[in-house]
């Protein structure tokens, strides 16, 4: 029976098309963008890191392992540049301070003086960003604070 159907309706039984999947392409593009920002800021900050990866994390925007590997939420590629840079700076600062102490936040403030406004943006728009509902739709002005030309 199935053999007859396979002959009569080959399009139903054909293998799926080969080639890059849209989600995989999006992840590769996100990794390229985020890795470029990591390299920019790492050079500027004099930071040495391990591997950079991009994942579809549900709760985190980024993380830094004790070995210095950095992982980022792929949705950051959809965020305004100021937000992506803040998260990159935040994680690079963890290479020196693997905690959220006062010294850590002082280090973040040195490289991203508007870090409090960036964190507010993530609290306000982060859920929509994680659902993929923001694609540079929220202007940089919504991040509050003047641009300091650090991007």
* Position with higher pLDDT, 133 vs 97: 97
Burial class (CB in 10 A: 0-12, 13-18, 19+), 104: middle
- pTM, two decimal places: 0.76
Structure tokens given for 108: 């973040």
d(CA 57, CA 76) in angstroms, rounded, equals 11
Mean pLDDT of 54-71: 93
* Residue listed under structure tokens 């650090």: 150
Contact 92, 47 (CB under 8 A): yes
Res 37: pLDDT: 97
Q: Is the pLDDT of residue 64 over 80?
A: yes
Confidence of residue 38 (pLDDT cuts 50, 70, 90): very high
Residue 74 has pLDDT above 80, yes or no: yes
């Amino acid at each position: 029976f199935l053999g007859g159907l396979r002959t009569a309706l080959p399009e139903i039984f054909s293998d799926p098309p080969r080639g890059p999947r849209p989600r995989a392409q999006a992840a590769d593009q996100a990794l390229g963008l985020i890795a470029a920002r990591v390299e920019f800021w790492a050079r500027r900050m004099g930071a040495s890191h391990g591997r950079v990866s991009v994942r579809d994390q549900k709760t985190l925007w980024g993380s830094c392992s004790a070995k210095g590997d950095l992982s980022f939420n792929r949705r950051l590629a959809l965020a305004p540049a100021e937000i992506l840079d803040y998260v990159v700076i935040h994680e690079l600062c963890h290479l020196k301070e693997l905690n959220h102490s006062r010294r850590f936040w002082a280090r973040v403030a040195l490289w991203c003086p508007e870090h409090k406004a960036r964190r507010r943006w993530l609290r306000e728009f982060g859920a929509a960003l994680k659902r993929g509902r923001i694609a540079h739709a929220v202007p940089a002005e919504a991040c509050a604070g003047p641009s300091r030309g650090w991007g």
